[in-house]
């Protein structure tokens, strides 16, 4: 959570930056102090404190302080443990699992339920209108985009996945108001994804971006679902980011499925399972 605040500081207004720096200087005290005291210490108004919390992706001051307290008190191992060439298999297993668990717990503490709710609402609106819901990603994020397509088409959503930059631009060019595109990126700095996101947004489509806080892509989308994790962009980093992105897609798919309802989905999924029986050994 503190890493996320640090990454977001440059994009905040000067007054909100003062609130962020106050939080970083003593997060434990920030989580306990009343809003009037926080405003006085940061030399800002009380509404500015609340705006800061929302600017960094939380539902308000209460939500921010609750998750901040969880971050500083739970002792979650947020420090990335790099995998080394001379590690034994047991060491590799422990490090990979620890890094993944840490990223998941970090996301649980930091995730904005407001942003997730907005994303689910946008996806549901596109579903109800029979509009397009494409997924964009390149490299490892392209694999996550394919997983998103697989999960959402089973729900009856008009979806597709594109990992080629040219195809992403072509798809974005035909999107219109009512469509909803999900753009996935570990770094949030991939030029092809930025271009496609900009085109989709200009054409009126709702853009949901799953990426790191403070990145160009995070600022380009209508709805930002932060995917921050405690590691650098070295050759091993896609391991954790891919799993984190997959989890976020799972949350979206589960929430959409619940809103569609079992009365609609059960006949569709039952027919699908029936038609797949011939593909399996009995």
123 and 258 share a domain?
A: yes
Average pLDDT for residues 116-123, to the nearest whole number?
96
Contact 115, 223 (CB under 8 A): yes
Query: Measured between alpha carbons, how far is 161 from 158 in angstroms, rounded to an integer?
Result: 11
On average, the pLDDT of the chain sits at 89
Higher pLDDT, 223 or 279: 223
Number of domains within the chain: 2
Same domain, yes or no: 60 and 170: no
- The verdict on 144 and 59 lying in the same domain is no
pLDDT-wise least confident of 145-149, 154-158, 272-276? 272-276
In a domain, 104, yes or no: no
Q: Which of 63, 76, 81, 65 is nearest to 106 (CA)?
A: 76
Same domain membership, residue 145 and residue 67: no
100, 135, 136, 145: which is closest to 238 by C-alpha? 100
Q: Do both 241 and 175 map to the same domain?
A: yes
Same-domain check for residues 41 and 132: no
Tell whether 174 is covered by a domain.
yes
The percent of residues above 70 in pLDDT, for the chain, comes to 93
With contact defined as beta carbons under 8 Å apart, do 38 and 27 qualify? no
- Find the DSSP H helices in 111-153: 113-128, 140-153
Residue 244 clears pLDDT 80, i.e. is over it = yes
Does one domain contain both 12 and 130?
no
Least confident of 93-97, 145-149, 227-231: 227-231
> Would you say 123 and 97 are in contact if contact means Cβ atoms under 8 Å apart?
no
- In three-state secondary structure terms, 224 is strand
Q: Same domain, yes or no, for 230 and 141? A: yes
Let me know whether 152 and 61 are in one domain. Answer: no
Least confident of 35-49, 68-82, 139-153: 68-82
User: Is there a single domain that holds both residue 187 and residue 249?
Assistant: yes
pLDDT of residue 98: 80
Each residue of 65-102: pLDDT tens digit? 988 887 776 554 444 567 777 888 888 888 888 888 88
In a domain, 245, yes or no: yes
Spatial distance between the Cα atoms of 70 and 217, rounded to a whole number of angstroms: 28
Q: Is residue 99 situated within a structural domain?
A: no
Query: Which backbone phi and psi does 226 adopt, to 5 degrees?
Result: -65, 140
* Coarse DSSP helix, strand, coil percentages of the chain, rounded to the nearest 5 percent: 65, 10, 25
14: domain CATH number is 1.10.10.10
Radius of gyration of the chain (CA): 20
Residue 275 in any domain: the answer is no
pTM of structure: 0.72
Q: What angle do CA 226, 229, 231 make, to 5 degrees?
A: 145
Would you say 58 and 67 are in contact if contact means Cβ atoms under 8 Å apart? yes
Whether 278 is covered by a domain: the verdict is: no
Which residues span the domain enclosing 47? 2-73
Q: What is the distance of C-alpha 250 from the center of its chain?
A: 11
pLDDT at 109: 76
Residue 231 shares a structural domain with residue 153: yes
Same domain, 150 and 225: yes
Establish if 166 belongs to a structural domain. yes
For residue 189, give the CATH number of its domain.
Answer: 3.40.50.10490
The token duo for 206 is 């709702």
Helix (H, G, I), strand (E, B) or coil at 45: coil
Domain assignment of residue 224, yes or no: yes
């Amino acid at each position: 959570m503190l890493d996320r605040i640090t990454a977001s500081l440059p994009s905040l207004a000067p007054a909100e930056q003062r609130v962020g720096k106050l939080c970083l200087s003593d997060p434990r005290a920030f989580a306990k102090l009343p809003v009037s005291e926080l405003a006085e210490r940061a030399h800002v108004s009380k509404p500015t404190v609340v705006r800061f919390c929302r600017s960094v992706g939380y539902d308000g001051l209460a939500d921010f302080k609750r998750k901040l307290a969880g971050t500083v008190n739970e002792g979650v191992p947020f420090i990335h443990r790099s995998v080394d060439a001379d590690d034994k298999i047991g060491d590799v297993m422990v490090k990979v699992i620890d890094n993944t668990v840490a990223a998941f717990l970090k996301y649980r503490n930091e995730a904005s339920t407001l942003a997730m709710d907005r994303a689910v609402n946008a996806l549901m609106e596109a579903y109800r209108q029979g509009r397009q819901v494409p997924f964009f990603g390149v490299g490892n994020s392209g694999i996550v985009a394919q997983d998103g397509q697989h999960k959402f088409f089973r729900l009856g959503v008009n979806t597709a996945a594109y990992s080629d930059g040219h195809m992403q631009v072509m798809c974005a060019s035909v999107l219109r108001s009512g469509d909803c595109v999900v753009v996935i990126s570990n770094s949030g700095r991939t030029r092809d994804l930025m271009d496609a996101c900009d085109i989709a947004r200009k054409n009126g489509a709702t853009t949901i971006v799953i990426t790191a806080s403070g990145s160009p892509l995070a600022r380009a989308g209508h709805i930002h679902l932060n995917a921050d994790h405690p590691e650098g962009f070295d050759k091993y980093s896609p391991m954790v980011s891919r799993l984190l992105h997959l989890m976020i897609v799972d949350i979206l798919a589960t929430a959409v499925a619940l809103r569609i309802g079992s009365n609609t989905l059960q006949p569709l999924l039952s027919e699908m399972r029936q038609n797949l029986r011939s593909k399996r050994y009995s």
